[in-house]
Structure 1
Amino acid sequence: MLVAQITDIHLGFEPDSPGEFNRQRLDATLAALTALDPPPDLMLATGDLVDRGDVASYRRLREAFAELPFPVHYALGNHDVRHNFAEVFPEAPLTDGFLQYTIDDGPVRLVVIDTLEEGRHGGAFCDARAAWLRQTLDAAPDRPTLIVQHHPPVEVGIAWMNTDPAEPWVHRLADCLRGRDNVIGLVCGHIHRAIVTRWEDVVVATCPSTAPPVALELKPIDPAVADGRPLIVADPPAYALHWWNGRELISHYDTATDHQVLAHYDEGLQAMIGAMLEERPV
């Protein structure tokens, strides 16, 4: 099973621009994913789908995804607005007012949870959402399960984007996942960078963004002193590919740009590749 992930699209950052920079970056990413061989079985778009939560931007997002050859499933981030999203994507499975649902038709069960609290930059996960997640996980305790959400539940070291590990929503989510050996990982976005760590005995993989990434700056930040540090940089748009090999979930990250190829699989390297493959047991 091959799952593509894109995140933090922020479509509509330039609402009046027909050639919007973030739309160009999104289109380049979708072109790269569409050209993959083998193709993804599905794509996750894990929040901050648009920048201002407006209906017009969600319509442009739907237009951008219209011709994709694989299904798209959504999570919501702090820039999203639920009722505007639902107006444009009425098929989205809102449960008790939250975008939380399962994707059950593959070898890995995907459980999408809603960490949006409108008006708040950081994450949220209330008692109602926690009750739904416990019930959902209890329904299939032996199936390999991947948790999908926008906000990472971990402190990543980039001070202005950090999640405080003492936040109640983090503890509430941890209580839902603790002791569940079938949870093979948690994928998220929000930080605009590729980050991998272990939290509560679960591997957390943060996808890089299609919108411009956050600068890698690990110094503490003082809100009283504007020190001129870089915040956003113009590196290429990027995506993740999560491959379930039947035993483990393997996460790859790549940029949606042309790569300079230094070696091809041609007759000159055929013998070397053959010898490498022969080392594997039959």
Structure 2
Amino acid sequence: MPAAPECFVQLSDPHIVAKGRLLMNEVDTASYLKRAIAQIMAMDHGPSHVLITGDLVERGGLDEYAHLRELLAPLTCPVLLMPGNHDAVPQLREAFADYRYLVCTAHDPSLVGFALFEASLGSRRLLALDTVVPGQPHGSLCAARLAWLRAQLEAAPGTPTIVAMHHPPFATGIRHMDDMGLREGASDLEALIRQHPQVERILCGHLHRPITRRFGGTVAMTAPSTAHQITLGLMPDSPPSFLFEPPGFYVHTVQAGHLVTHLQSVGDFGAPQLFH
């Protein structure tokens, strides 16, 4: 039997609420996440890791994180959790106290409130960059967080690296989401990434849509939500809205030495039909 390809899965923006509740009294985010996890478990090339790029829960409550933990339990591979603007790092650390990577920067006075970490994804290195401004919807990269990233990149210039962050470092054209985008540090990040060609992807969440752009000499991309999607409204007066387009996740795989990304829709589309 041929060897399974190296791969990991990226989920984003599950927005889990307390058990028995619906997000905005309408969206059953828990059921959506269950379906995504079931689809991951059914993959014929199981991932080495599952990365979740923020907005893990809706309000940052311990009851929500307890519900998230229960929903993630079927996964048999390591799970890498990143905060988004709907998360609260102190509660996230308390609820997942055994996830030691979440406290890597907890004793650094300049980074104590942020969850930044490094992890190995097979042949790739992951640098998880916390962009959260506590209590605010927009993101920021302060000098301390950028200094952490610079030190990490300088420590392994020859290792293919993935940078993950919740807020994308670029405007998307969806005005109401761009208004709560990465307000500080994007240009400094772009200059830093350009100095480090080992960065082959910047993986983001927040937008609830698959969006791709060149950035700092590499590729930056946002992932769909496991639940509801943001409407593709590109006019300046497009109202903030969401819809139930098919949810999805990314499967990032290494092929011939290069990182290749596949968008996988979540749903029951029937059995594969062989070509004749």
TM-score, normalization by structure 1 = 0.86
Task: Give the aligned residue type for 1:130.
Answer: L
How big is each residue's C-alpha offset from its partner over 1:130-170, in whole Å with a ceiling of 9 and x where there is no partner?
Answer: 11111111110000001111110010111100168994321
The separation in 2 between residues aligned to 1:155 and 1:117, in whole angstroms, is: 18
Could you say if the C-alpha distance between residues 163 and 37 of structure 1 is closer, same or farther in structure 2, counting changes exceeding 3 Å?
Answer: farther
- Give the 3-state SS of the residue equivalent to 1:185 in structure 2: strand
> In percent, how many aligned pairs have the same letter?
33
Report the Cα distance in structure 2 between the residues aligned to 1:105 and 1:38, rounded to whole angstroms: 15
State the distance in 2 between where 1:230 and 1:165 align.
14
**Letter matched to residue 71 of structure 1:** P
Q: 1:220 to 1:41 in 2, by over 3 A?
A: same
Distance 1:108 1:246 in 2: 13
1:242–1:251 Cα contact (<8 Å) kept: yes
- In the TM superposition, 1:1-282 aligns within 5 A as 1-12=6-17, 16-17=20-21, 21-90=28-97, 91-93=99-101, 94=103, 95=105, 96-97=111-112, 98-104=114-120, 106-162=122-178, 167-221=183-237, 229=239, 231-260=241-270, 263-264=273-274, 269=276
Give the structure-2-normalised TM-score.
Answer: 0.88
The offset of 1:16, in angstroms, is 4.3
Q: Is the 8 Å Cα contact of residues 123 and 169 (structure 1) preserved in structure 2?
A: no
Cα distance in 1 between the residues matched to 2:267 and 2:182: 38
Question: Structure 1's 193 and 165: CA in aligned 2 closer, same or farther, altered over 3 A?
Answer: closer
Structure in which a larger fraction of residues adopt strand:
2
Residues 219 and 249 (structure 1), Cα distance of their counterparts in 2 relative to 1, 3 Å cut: same
Aligned partner of residue 173 in structure 1, secondary structure? helix
Deviates more, 1:244-253 or 1:120-129: 244-253
User: Are the counterparts in 1 of residues 8 and 121 from structure 2 also a CA contact under 8 Å?
Assistant: no
**What stretches of structure 1 move > 2 A for 4+ residues in a row?**
14-20, 91-94, 163-168, 260-263
Give 5+ residue unaligned stretches, structure 1.
222-226, 270-282
Residue-by-residue CA offset, 1:31-76 (whole Å, 9 max, x unaligned): 0111001111111011000001101000111111112121100111
Distance (Å, rounded) in 1 between the aligned partners of 2:256 and 2:134: 38
- Note if contact 2:164-2:202 (Cα within 8 Å) is conserved in structure 1: yes
Q: Give, in whole Å, the separation in 2 of the partners of 1:16 and 1:105.
A: 35
**Cα offset for 1:175?**
3.1
Partner Cα separation in structure 2 for residue 80 and residue 258 of structure 1? 30
Matched residue SS, 1:109: strand
Deviation at 1:246? Answer: 4.2
- Higher CA-based Rg: 1
The answer to whether the 8 Å contact 1:49/1:77 transfers is yes
Unaligned stretches of 5+ residues in structure 2: 1-5, 106-110
Asked if 1 retains the 8 angstrom alpha-carbon contact of 2:14 and 2:226, the reply is yes
**Quick check: 1:42–1:72 contact (8 Å CA) kept in 2?**
yes
Q: CA RMSD in A?
A: 2.1
SS of residue matched to 2:140: coil
